C-alpha cells in the first residue's frame, strides 16, 4: 500500500513541510506497516468524504491531503484543522511523524 501525505497552510510557510511524502508500507518494518494499516481502518479512511469544509475564518489552519492506493482501493481525502474524529486525528499524527 502506498500513502502520500501533504501538509500546507498555517501561519508560516515552510517549504520542507509542504513537500508531499510517500510512504510505502512494503518498505516499513512489519510493526509500523501494521500500525499504519490499523489506523487507516480505524479511521474508515476509504469511507471518508473527499473534502472536509474548513471552519469559517480558517485561513491560517493547517490542511492535510492524504492519498492511499492499495490493490483494492484508491482514495484521496483533504482535511483542515481542527480534526474532530479522534481516529482520523491519530492517523494524521502518525503520518506527520513519518513525514519528519
Q: What pTM value is reported for the model?
A: 0.86
Helices (H), the chain: 15-18, 30-42, 86-99
What is the number of domains present in the chain? 1
CA dist 67 and 31 (Å) reads: 21
Give the range of the structural domain holding residue 85, as residue numbers without chain letter. 2-99
pLDDT of 14 reads: 56
pLDDT of 59 reads: 60
- pLDDT tens, residue by residue, 7-66: 987 655 555 566 899 999 999 999 999 999 999 999 999 999 998 766 666 567 888 999
Amino acid at each position: 500500500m502506498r500513502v502520500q501525505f501533504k501538509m500546507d497552510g498555517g501561519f508560516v510557510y515552510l517549504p520542507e513541510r509542504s513537500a508531499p511524502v510517500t510512504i510505502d508500507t512494503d518498505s516499513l518494518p512489519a510493526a509500523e506497516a501494521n500500525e499504519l494499516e490499523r489506523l487507516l481502518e480505524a479511521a474508515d479512511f476509504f469511507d471518508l468524504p473527499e473534502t472536509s469544509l474548513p471552519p469559517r475564518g480558517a485561513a491560517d489552519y493547517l490542511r492535510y491531503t492524504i492519498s492511499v492506493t492499495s490493490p483494492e482501493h484508491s482514495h484521496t481525502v483533504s482535511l483542515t484543522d481542527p480534526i474532530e474524529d479522534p481516529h482520523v486525528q491519530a492517523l494524521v499524527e502518525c503520518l506527520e511523524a513519518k513525514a519528519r
